[in-house]
Every structure is written in C-alpha cells, then in structure tokens.
Amino acid sequence: MRFFVFFILINISIDLLAENRNDLNLIDPCSEALGTVSIYSMHTENPAMLPVQDADNRLSISHKNHYLTQELNSWKGSFTSHTQWFTTGISLAGYGYEHYNHLALGGSVGRSLSSSVAIGVGVNLLSLYYTGCEGRKNNLTVRIGTVVAPDAKYLISCWIDNPFQSGFLNEHGEEEKLPTVIYGGFRLSLTENTQWSVEAENGDFSTWRIKSGFEYAIKSFAIRCGVFGKPVVPTVGFGFSFADFALDISGQYHNLLGVSLCCGIQWKFPE
C-alpha cells in the first residue's frame, strides 16, 4: 500500500511540474486564499508589482502542505528592497521530498515608469531531482510583467512566465520544454474595505484557467475567499497584522486530492 501511494505521488509531482509548474511556485497564503490570483502574491510573482507595493523593505516566509501528505511539503522565502530608482526582489523555494524535489532561486527587478505604469523582469534558476535521473537537472526561466494602475481603486496586471520555453534535458539529451504561462487580470476596490480580483491564466497558448477572489479587510484583520480551475477548487483564508508583522493562513479543497493548507509570515522594515 505504501509503495502504491508513493508511486501515485511521484506521478502527480512530475505531472504538476510539466503542466502546472506555477502551482508549485505559488506557495503563498494570500494568493491561494483568493483563488491563487497572483496579483496578491506576498512573494511578488509578477516582477512589475514590486514598485507598486508599499515602500517598506520586507521579508516573507511561507509553507504549504499539499493534500495533507508529509512528502509534498513546500516552502518559500523572499526579500524585497526599495531604492530611489528601482525595486529588487530575491527568493528561494523548495518542493518535494527525498525521491523527488526541486529548488528555485529567483531574482527580479521592477521600476515605475510613471505614477500609473510599472514594468519588471525576473529570472528563476530551477534545479530538479528525482530518483532514477543522473544528478540534478537545471534550467533558467524568465518572467516579464507590467502593471497599470489608473487610480487607487483599479489595477491591471499582465505577465508571462518562461516566454522562451526553456526546459530540461532528458536521458536522451533532448530538451523537454517547460510550459509558457501567460497571466492577465485586474483588482477592483468595490468598497473601502472590499476588493475583487479576477485573473486568466493560459498555459502553452492553449489551456485557459479562470481565477477569482474577494478580500474584506478591516483594521488589522482580513478574510478572503475564491475559486479557480475546472473542476472548481474553492479557497478560503484569513490574515492578521500587528504593526510591522503579519500572519496569513489559507486552505483549498480538491475534490479528488483533498485539502491543502498554507501559512505565511511577513516582516516589514521601514526605510
């Protein structure tokens, strides 16, 4: 029985990396509670969001338990720093277990072109290992994004992950390309305390996935909910903030694989 479960986990992991690599990189309770909308990412998946966020330097750490299985834990840490000319971010993420795992080292730079437009570019160095391969497999992917915020109530986010379709070399020396994923969405303030976000995600210019979420925030507390995918996966979460410290927790339910839980903490360092 244990071997059967292990075999299933191996296949799920490799399939997710090949077809939905973004799910493995999005280890983020804020985004996951809102249907995985990347606009809310505490780790700033769209590099153009870096200069749009608050001007405080911040350290973010998060952990996710996929489907309540010990083998499929993942984690991510990132640090964002603001300067007069641009904003930079670095991150390190890990996913998997002894027989299957990957690491991702990322770096990004964003800059505001005007009061309402920002652009950014980032790179991710991925390192993959699974039982049976000779050593680790490595590759480099690129992220490019833009953000348009006409006013404080409305924001549009567009970015692309791996536009050059880089990938890994297989045992025959042939390149197995990772998917190119395009994201486009908006965030709208419905009231002073309520925000609504919608994002469309397209993998390899063929498969669309719609994601949507709501956040209600008052003073130091926020509650979030959302949906994504087909079949629909519901998500929910909440967060607390205390001065320069914040704690966020989220969960999602897959009708076949079960529950996934994610938590994260963040510290802000005023300039």
pLDDT, tens digit (0-9, with 9 covering 90-100), for 107-155: 999 999 998 999 999 999 988 887 777 677 888 999 999 999 998 899 9
The residue assigned the tokens 């006409």 is 150
* Amino acid identity, position 92: L
Query: Domain limits at 138?
Result: 2-269
pLDDT digits (tens, 9 = 90+) for 5-42: 444 444 444 444 444 444 455 689 999 999 999 998 98
Q: Is the pLDDT of residue 191 over 90?
A: yes
pLDDT digits (tens, 9 = 90+) for 75-103: 999 999 998 889 999 999 998 887 888 89
pLDDT tier at 256, thresholds 50, 70, 90: confident
Q: Cα separation of 132 and 36, whole Å?
A: 32
Q: What is the pLDDT of residue 211?
A: 95
Instruction: Give buried/exposed letters for 157-194 (b at 16+ CB in 10 A, else e).
Output: bbbbbbeeebbbeeeeeeeeebbbbbbebbbeeeeeee
The highest-confidence range among 36-40, 210-214, 255-259, by mean pLDDT, is: 210-214
Q: What is the pLDDT of residue 172?
A: 65
Mean residue pLDDT of the chain comes to 86
Count the domains in the chain. Answer: 1
- Count of other CB atoms within 10 angstroms of residue 219: 7
Q: What is the pLDDT of residue 96?
A: 84
Pairing type for strands 258-269 and 245-254 reads antiparallel
By CB neighbour count within 10 A (0-12 exposed, 13-18 middle, 19+ buried), where does 120 fall?
A: buried
- Please, which residues have CB within 8 angstroms of residue 227's CB and are 6 or more apart in sequence? 35, 211, 212, 213, 233, 234, 235
pLDDT tier at 177, thresholds 50, 70, 90: confident
Q: Is the pLDDT of residue 168 over 90?
A: no
Closest by Cα among 104, 209, 87, 86 to 162? 104
Q: Cα separation of 79 and 58, whole Å?
A: 6
- pLDDT over 90 for what percent of the chain? 59
- Count of other CB atoms within 10 angstroms of residue 70: 7
Q: What is the pLDDT of residue 111?
A: 95
By CB neighbour count within 10 A (0-12 exposed, 13-18 middle, 19+ buried), where does 218 fall?
A: exposed
Q: What is the pLDDT of residue 100?
A: 81
Q: Is the pLDDT of residue 44 over 70?
A: yes
CATH of the domain at 42: 2.40.160.40
Q: Is the pLDDT of residue 173 over 70?
A: no
